Amino acid sequence: MTTPPRTEPLLAVNELSISYGAGIPLVQELNFTVRRGETVGLVGESGCGKSLTALAVMGLLPPNLKTAGGIDLGGSDITKLDARSLRKMRGSQMAMIFQEPLTALNPVMTIGSQVVEVLLAHNKITKAEAAKRTLELFELVRIPDAAARFNDYPHRLSGGMRQRVVIAIAIACNPSLLIADEPTTALDVTVQAQILRLLKRLQRDADLGLLLITHDLGVVRQVADRIVVMYAGCVVEEGPVDEVLDNPRHPYTAGLLAARPHGSRTAGAERLADIRGTVPAPHARPGGCLFEPRCPNAQADCRAVRPPLSPLSADRALRCYHPVGGAN
């Protein structure tokens, strides 16, 4: 793993909360940053608010969801922008890759025209120039025989190829932040590795900030520099990937690692081979520590007050009173 360059953060999510209607909180007091050239893995079970966070960064949350707090990208707060400025940032400064390549492309438009469209939206270029640039992008994302593919419709392409098209659309206008929401989950294992390598290469070449959302810790270890572990709408642990995964301190992180089919990598994981219970629904979250009802280390103080996210070291933070491996 390369050490991330120490620069000002590209994306800074500050105390972000997302709630449904009047009061049901889906994401609470979320804090994390992504720097240029850095890959941050956002990890958690489905329903923990990862994808909502991604949509919030893109400014694409459905109108019935309300946000509080700030999302700072390249100096402007996304939550405060008007629709027009936000639209101009989408696709050009921030871009997103979605989970389902099979449904992410418009079935009645050629793949070429779908890339051309985003180029024309953000650049003052002619259609011919856009088409030329599209072919270059297709080659960049390693779509074989790009010229012949230009006029194909999505249904003619395999899942892996379609995901490459989605990536081409995302990087077309050289965004500084790329969000990938489970980009490989729907793909075959061999294709997964190819797509991950492609993402990593593009990120390194363009010095992108990459926010990788996944539930797969193997993917995170392979690609990410830092990891942010979410549980029930909150960050429970964050830090450099190797440190966190080799030495998880939060019982939830340890449980996730143990639940992986590859077996345990951590001491004491035997007791947590499977995390009992399920993620509490947003309207039924406990008042104290969110993980307390499922936690093997839970004690009375966990029930009383929710633990704060407190720094463990210069680049690690933890939200737990009784972490794995003893107190701080």
Q: Report the interface residues with other proteins, using CB under 8 A.
A: 58, 60, 83, 87-92, 95-96, 98, 100, 103-110, 112-113, 116-118, 120-122, 126-128, 130-131, 150-151, 153, 155, 166, 169
Strand partners, 226: 40, 240
| DSSP per position, 287-309 | SS-TTGGG-TT--HHHHHSPPP-
Work out how close the CB of 172 gets to other proteins at its nearest, in angstroms, rounded to a whole number: 9
Q: Which is nearer to other proteins, 90 or 306 (CB)?
A: 90
Work out how close the CB of 179 gets to other proteins at its nearest, in angstroms, rounded to a whole number: 9
Work out how close the CB of 35 gets to other proteins at its nearest, in angstroms, rounded to a whole number: 22
Work out how close the CB of 149 gets to other proteins at its nearest, in angstroms, rounded to a whole number: 11
Work out how close the CB of 222 gets to other proteins at its nearest, in angstroms, rounded to a whole number: 25
Work out how close the CB of 93 gets to other proteins at its nearest, in angstroms, rounded to a whole number: 9
Neighbours of 7 (CB within 10 A): 10
- State the DSSP code for 152: -
Q: Which is nearer to other proteins, 23 or 107 (CB)?
A: 107
Q: Which long-range contacts (CB under 8 A, 24 or more apart) does 309-314 make?
A: 309/31, 309/234, 309/235, 309/236, 312/239, 312/249, 313/239
Q: Which is nearer to other proteins, 88 or 271 (CB)?
A: 88
Asked if 175 and 210 touch (Cβ cutoff 8 Å), the reply is: no
Phi, psi of 304 (to 5 degrees): -75, -55
- Half-sphere exposure (Cβ direction) of 141: Cα atoms closer than 13 Å: 25
As a whole number of angstroms, the distance between CA 160 and CA 103 comes to 12
Q: Which is nearer to other proteins, 183 or 255 (CB)?
A: 183
Q: Which is nearer to other proteins, 172 or 254 (CB)?
A: 172
Q: Which is nearer to other proteins, 50 or 250 (CB)?
A: 50
- Determine which helix (DSSP H) or strand (DSSP E) holds 54, and give its type and residue range: helix 50-58
Work out how close the CB of 86 gets to other proteins at its nearest, in angstroms, rounded to a whole number: 8
Work out how close the CB of 152 gets to other proteins at its nearest, in angstroms, rounded to a whole number: 9
Q: Which positions ≥6 away from 1 have C-beta within 8 Å?
A: 225, 240, 241, 242
- Determine which helix (DSSP H) or strand (DSSP E) holds 122, and give its type and residue range: helix 111-122
Q: Which is nearer to other proteins, 8 or 145 (CB)?
A: 145
As a whole number of angstroms, the distance between CA 201 and CA 260 comes to 27
* Environment class of 120 (CB within 10 Å of its CB; exposed 0-12, middle 13-18, buried 19+): middle
Q: Which is nearer to other proteins, 108 or 284 (CB)?
A: 108
As a whole number of angstroms, the distance between CA 210 and CA 228 comes to 13
